[in-house]
Structure 1
Amino acid sequence: MATKTTLRAEIRSRRRARRADSLATGQLFSPGTSHSPIPVRDRAEAEGLAHQIRSLTSSMDAVTLPALFVPTPLEPDMSLALGLFERALLPVLLDEAGAPLGGSRWGLWEPGRALVTLGRPPAQPDGEVLGAESLKNADLIVIPALAASADGTRLGQGGGWYDRALTHRSPGVPVVAVIFDDEVLEAGIIPAEPHDVPVDAIVTPTRMITTSIR
């Protein structure tokens, strides 16, 4: 079985190659809209993810406060998905000086509100910083990953930020991992550890997979 370190290195390499190919074929960044301040990197990718997340929310009761994420340059393009909602919780990783915050923190984003990049991606809401416990108010949690499998196992970046943050969610709130199509792996490939929080669904630009833990 491959280790998490090996899997992360392989997936990050593919992601760098994917973005390089997009630039080489003329994929240009376009500015954010009034509904989302995140620039669109890849129109087809962004539209695909927005469609899948819209389909997911339409199958649920009304989603009033999702927890989403602002993608880094190598992550799937969530720019149009953010604009689906009237407001959202977004991770806050750095303080105003650009230093890492201890523990998980969130900020409230609403259309027309700017995001700021403090030293390094991802961008985050500019304003009041909410504590880790604010995640209990979210009724849908959409998180990044490097890979995931149909048994609910998720491969993160390795820092454990989301595994710690998700302990504050309300019971029964679905957790959805966003990845590329080639990062959906067979069950058993991703090593699972006791602290890993499983996901309820996987969303890619072309499909949604409900995991076997539901």
Structure 2
Amino acid sequence: MEPMTPMSDSSVRALEPDEAKAHLRATIRRERLQRSERRRQEAAAALRDHVLALTSIQEAGCVSVYASRPHEPGTGPLIEALHRRGIRVLIPMLGDGLQRGWGVYHGIEDLVERAPGRPPEPSGEFLPSTTLADADVIVVPALAVDTSGTRLGQGGGWYDRALMDARPSSPVIALTFANEVRDGAAEPLPRERHDLGVDMVITPEGAHSLPA
């Protein structure tokens, strides 16, 4: 099979939003596969440092963070650093019938992959979706973010639904790589009515506030 030829930005914008998202997801996932393990570890350490430097994190008692899968912006160092500071860390969990919920992080050895391809989850008590209201800061995954605050997720809509339980005052922070941040005026990401924006994007190079 011949490799897919990348589409131009104008061609992507001409697609229906769901088609444009699917194409962008496939392109970004291929690009992420090119990063070496060393580069991913360096990026995870830089992301940790930028997140920990935020005033909102320094004042937080509870933070929600996704447990990263291979090739995603790594969160392992961040989660462990928050835990060592005594901050309660909520990590996404799936309950019976794929219910959305949360688990409390108790240590790296506590995270388990319950099914192939699923992110690691805490092994302890399953907490309901409304537990997200406890989080003072919410760190979410993203395949891309634009400067208008639009986030491109993995495609399942998990966080768009989960964030309905967040407190309006809790900032939502997306982690990406620098080349995945787009100009919202020149290269806007496709956005549908159900898509929720983010307040900040952090890359290994630094943090950028956004109009969610």
TM range (shorter): 0.7 to 0.9
What's the counterpart of residue 115 of structure 2?
A: 119
The counterpart of 2:166, out of the listed 165, 169, 193, is 169
Structure 2 letter corresponding to 1:143? V
Q: How far has the Cα of 1:94 moved from its partner?
A: 5.7
**Pair 1:16-2:16 in alignment:** no
Distance 1:42 1:12, change over 3 A: closer
Q: How many residue pairs end up in the alignment?
A: 188
Q: Is the CA contact 2:46–2:205 (under 8 Å) kept in the aligned structure 1?
A: yes
Q: CA deviation at 1:43?
A: 3.1
Gaps of 5+ in 2: 1-9, 13-19
d(CA) in 2 for partners of 1:50, 1:74: 16
1:73 counterpart residue number? 70
| Contact 1:94/1:118 (<8 A) preserved | no
Cα offsets for 1:143-165 (capped at 9, x unmatched):
00100011100000110000000
Unaligned residue ranges in structure 1 (runs of 5+): 28-40
For 1:93 and 1:71, locate their aligned partners in 2 and report how far apart those are by CA, in whole Å: 15
TM-score when scaled to structure 1? 0.82
* Sequence identity (%): 38
The equivalences for 1:1-214 within 5 A come to: 1=10, 2=12, 3-18=20-35, 22-23=36-37, 27=38, 42-56=40-54, 58=55, 62-85=59-82, 86=86, 87-93=88-94, 101-102=98-99, 104-111=100-107, 114-120=110-116, 121-187=118-184, 188-213=187-212
CA distance in 2, matches of 1:112, 1:15: 24
Displacement after TM superposition at 1:59 (Å): 5.1
Structure 1 residue 60 displacement after superposition: 5.6
Amino acid at match of 2:30: S
Q: Is 2:112–2:121's contact at 8 Å kept on the other side of the alignment?
A: yes
The structural deviation recorded for 1:112 is: 6.4
RMSD: 1.8
1: CA distance, partners of 2:202 / 2:25: 19
**Preserved CA contact (<8 Å) 1:90 1:109:** yes
Q: Which runs of 4+ in 1 moved over 6 A?
A: none
Deviation at 1:211, TM superposition (A): 0.4
